[in-house]
A and B are shown apart, each in its own frame.
Chain A
């Protein structure tokens, strides 16, 4: 049983995350230790394992990039090794530019505007990649899954840029 099935969902990318947390609560209640207080230690162990799996499933399904990665895994799309270098030149050039842009933020005359603009740029580019990945995952052919995988790897760079930006924002607000 995969995580989607565990949550009573179709094995597809698009899902309603609000229903997700309701299902999560319901599933967890069913395996709550209180219900197994008088059960055998074997049954208690199974309940604990099930609870851990429900937890993993929830963590995976609620985060879009994790969900995409999991879905591609189920579809046997061979993901390049996480550590393998990525060599799409124009994409990496753009990443450099974006990193440089983030570096400049703290020297801006108006730091808040600079953060706001940087956030908008990152969000826009993220959305663009995200929606193509979404379409490709929906098509679910071998070729579209490979393209989705490529976009997922690109999105991970944006995820890191967002973390950088958040850290920067915190730093500037602390000063």
Chain B
């Protein structure tokens, strides 16, 4: 199976790889995994007081498509409000990266990672 150019680009030059302090109250952490392929994805968002995502970092252990999906998501969420980020759909990720059907679950994982991070942020606020 051939990877699209965009996947290869994100895979070879992943954006925003790294970690933030998960105990920082302004940092939201989303952890998701896929038992089928053993992929593990961590997405962290630094969120300002007015709910804007100022920075995003990811760390993903998985295939090229999973890495590309999470790398792309970090680019997309920066500057967005958490409400806007929560509306990012896996279909948009899959379309942007031209993922083949067998790799759609990688984009689902990335969408779920955003949702998990937002849920973590909300629970930290309360």
**Chain A interface (Cβ < 8 Å from any Cβ of B):** 82-87, 89, 91-93, 95-96, 99, 153-154, 156-157, 159-161, 163
Contact = CB atoms under 8 A, between A and B. Distances in A.
B105 interface: yes
B88 interface: no
Contacts of B118: none
Task: Say what secondary structure dominates the interface of chain B.
Answer: mixed
B36 A87 contact: no
Given A96-B61, A99-B61, A82 B36 contact: yes
Contact of B105 (A83, A93, A153, A157): A83
A86 B38 contact: no
Nearest to B39: A160
A85 B38 CA distance: 10
B35 A153 contact: yes
29 contacts: A82-B35, A82-B36, A83-B34, A83-B36, A83-B104, A83-B105, A83-B108, A84-B34, A85-B32, A85-B33, A85-B34, A85-B108, A85-B112, A86-B34, A86-B35, A87-B32, A87-B116, A92-B42, A93-B31, A96-B31, A96-B40, A96-B42, A96-B61, A156-B35, A157-B35, A157-B40, A159-B38, A160-B38, A161-B38
Interface in B9-64: 31-38, 40, 42, 59, 61
B109 interface: yes
Contacts of A159: 38
A83 B34 CA distance: 6
Given A95-B40, A153-B35, 6 more contacts: A83-B105, A83-B108, A86-B34, A92-B33, A157-B40, A159-B38
A157 B33 contact: yes
Contacts of A96: 31, 40, 42, 59, 61
Nearest to A102: B61
Contacts of A157: 33, 35, 38, 40
Please indicate which of the listed interface residues B36, B105, B109 has the most CB atoms of chain A within 10 Å of its own CB.
Answer: B36
Contacts of A163: 38
B36 A92 contact: no
Nearest to B120: A89
Contacts of B109: 85
Nearest to A79: B35
